[in-house]
A and B are shown apart, each in its own frame.
Chain A
Amino acid sequence: MKSFVSGLVAAMLLFLAAILVMYDSPVGTDQVREPGGDVHLESQT
């Protein structure tokens, strides 16, 4: 039981950390290359 709760809490902490890192990141956006080679982002939505 203790290890189950520990695993659950660890998963949630990693999950929240991932959400924080991904928030406002390029995840889920098309990578648009300018002719000069620069990359900017275009939302899929």
Chain B
Amino acid sequence: MAAVRTGGGIAAAILALLLAWLAVASFGADSVVEPTVSFGPANTAGSETSSAAVRNAITDRTRLMGDRVQSGTIASVDVLAQQPGQTERYTTSQGVANPEALVRSWRQRGENAGILRDPDFTSGISSLPYENAALLEQPEGRDWRRTHNGMIKYGGGWLILGTAFALALFLFARGRIRTANGQSGIKVERFSAIERANHWMTATGFILLALTGLIITYGKPMLLPLIGPGAFSTLAQASAWIHMASAVPFVVGVVGMAVVWMRQNIPTRRDVEWLKRGGGFMHASDEAPPARRFNAGQKIVFWGVVLGGLVALTTGIALMYPFLWLGITGMQWAQTLHAAIGLALIALIIGHIYIGTVGMEGAVDAMWTGNVDANWAGEHHRLWYESLGKEAALQHQNAPSKEGGTKFTGSPAE
């Protein structure tokens, strides 16, 4: 027991260090990749002189805009006049003839930034048989990039590491949740072989999805510098394929779970009570609130996986077939939602794995052998246990009881 709590303490300390590192990364100056807007060649940044290269670049841009004027996309360009605060309107053909005025204008982009910050799409003309090629600017893309590189990546890190840290701290403080009356030696069937096989099939799919999803999301900043571009390219491509293929066993398994377990996972008023009392997990002296086959915590995992899985599946298919039925805004939303749901599911399943293994004595038996001790069933799922017939008792193993007796022996309903 002490060893488990010590392990929790060590894990909490390691995770605290990781969270501290994440905090530095999150709030550091270079935490979010935010390209600067530059209107000239990169090597002239900070230069006050209008070099020939800058002039050429601006001229090229202006000529491109001239094409857009001819196509009817835009009519003219506003540029700053020599006098501060005044604006002159140039048609783009005039702009080409007077590139210095445009250079002046581009440089003072604070005043006329609207040229590039049109909230709508700015499309041009493309002879390519690819509709996205004609999209010249999509200012919303900056919002998507900011969300993706900031909120999603760092938020996901906080969520996953924070969940793991909280659980490790809980293990350190509380220890394992013991079966208060010890082992009765009487086993009752908790899950059938089909239910367990389906669970492990889903779990296999999910573990593969989670690992490859994390590589896809965090691989570039975290693995690329360590293993180099060649190895990372192979790993990233393999991850993308494994991610798509392992969705199949996951989805098939979740559909199976939904069919078999949905009725037993419908929320009731009893679940509110269960949640209010923290499942009886908080203190060793707490008694678990009465629950049927699934308690409120398990129902949260069930609905999280079913509904989250549905959103992840829908958005995932959209990402597998880019632009088939979604435009660029739809693809950005699909990617953002997919990443957010995926990261939230990883955090949820970390909690599920914790309470199903190290966090609670006897819980893993339910999904490993299918049979749980009668005392465990009586304490954590009393209403379900009491609803079982007398024949539910499977075997006597004469396991020693902590209190010298078996509180729930023979208690299934007659």
Contacts and interface: CB of A to CB of B under 8 A. Distances in A.
Contacts, number: 91
Contacts of A15: 205, 208, 242, 245-246, 248-249
B204 A11 contact: yes
A19 B241 CA distance: 8
Interface in A5-43: 6-8, 10-12, 14-19, 22, 26-35, 42
Contacts of B197: 3-4, 6-7, 10
Interface residues of A, number: 29
A8 B204 contact: yes
A2 to B, nearest CB: 7
A44 B246 CA distance: 21
Interface string B241-275: 11011111100110000000000000000000000
Given A14-B249, A17-B248, A30-B323, A7 B198 contact: yes
B201 A42 contact: no
B200 to A, nearest CB: 3
A28 B240 contact: yes
Contacts of B139: none
B323 A28 contact: no
Interface string B192-206: 010011111111110
A2 B217 CA distance: 34
B1 interface: no
B322 interface: yes
A16 B198 CA distance: 17
B130 interface: yes
Contacts of A22: 241, 244-245
Contacts of B132: 30
A34 B200 contact: no
Contacts of B121: none
Interface of B: 129-132, 193, 196-205, 208, 240-242, 244-249, 252-253, 320-324, 368-370
Interface of A: 1-4, 6-8, 10-12, 14-19, 22, 26-35, 42, 44
19 contacts: A1-B369, A3-B193, A3-B200, A4-B196, A4-B197, A4-B200, A4-B368, A6-B193, A7-B204, A8-B201, A11-B253, A15-B249, A16-B245, A18-B244, A18-B248, A28-B322, A30-B132, A31-B321, A44-B322
